[in-house]
Amino acid sequence: AFVMDLQGYLEALRLLPRTNTEKPIEAFPNPFIKDAQQASIAIVLVSLGCMYSVHNLIAPNMTAIANLFHFNAYERDAYVGGELTMCFYFPGVFGALIAGLMSGVIERRLLLATLAFLTGVACLFTARVGTFNQLLTARAVSGFGIGGCLPVVYSLVGDWYPARKRSSATAFVTAASGAGVFIGQCLSTLVGSADWRLPFFIIA
């Protein structure tokens, strides 16, 4: 009895979660709402995969890019392999922090759509660059958009799924991002052999 009284006291002070004896209510009991939710999830996963496919579009065609800017082998490794990679991943850190904060303030679907649009525009700009500085800018914007998308997607998963189903939902998010990286690598290897700009046009 003392243990039960202590548990009730802690629950009243919100130090322990309340014991829920009621049958949990299933989310989205209406089949039409459930279908709309599944369509939204599919769109989000496809968008995430497309955004993550931008990751490795540069790597298979480093030599072709270096030839465009008249880099020798050392400059290719230093600028295209090093500096360009840093300018892609470093803004992604800020993108993740900013998007994570903003996802609690503004509509998350709108935020994800904005990041996807920003990444697509950056891909188009990457395919049209004429100088190395323009390429750095385009990849930095792409990295910012890709870095910001993941916190927003995880927030949407929290909105759409109850706690007991979120682990399986996040597995699909991880699979979509991994599949995007793989598809981007294959696309860049197969199509980029003709022109390194083509994969960026296709992904955009």
Measured CA angle at 154 (ends 148, 158), to 5 deg: 145
Question: DSSP states of 79-145 as a string?
Answer: IIIIIHHHHHHHHHHHHHHHHHHHTTTS-HHHHHHHHHHHHHHHHHHHTT--SHHHHHHHHHHHHHH
Report, as an integer, the average pLDDT of 79-86. 89
In tens, the pLDDT along 64-76 reads 898 888 888 888 8
Residue of higher predicted confidence among 126 and 19? 126
φ, ψ at 51 (rounded to 5°):
-65, -40
What whole-number percentage of the chain has pLDDT above 70?
83
Contact call for residues 54 and 203 (beta carbons, < 8 A):
yes
In tens, the pLDDT along 154-183 reads 888 888 888 888 888 888 889 999 999 999
Number of alpha carbons in the 13 Å side-chain half-sphere of residue 51: 30
pTM to 2 decimal places: 0.76
In tens, the pLDDT along 48-65 reads 998 999 988 888 888 889
pLDDT at residue 16, rounded to an integer = 44
In tens, the pLDDT along 97-145 reads 999 889 888 888 899 999 999 999 999 999 889 899 999 999 999 999 9
pLDDT at residue 116, rounded to an integer = 92
pLDDT at residue 25, rounded to an integer = 45
- 42 pLDDT above the threshold of 80: yes
Sign of CA dihedral 33, 145, 138, 183: negative
Cα 29 to the center of its chain, rounded Å: 29
**Structure-token pair, residue 16:** 């322990």
- 12 pLDDT above the threshold of 50: no
pLDDT at residue 22, rounded to an integer = 47
Q: Which of 12-21, 62-71, 183-192 has the lowest mean pLDDT?
A: 12-21
Residue type, position 137, single letter: T
Length reported for the chain: 204
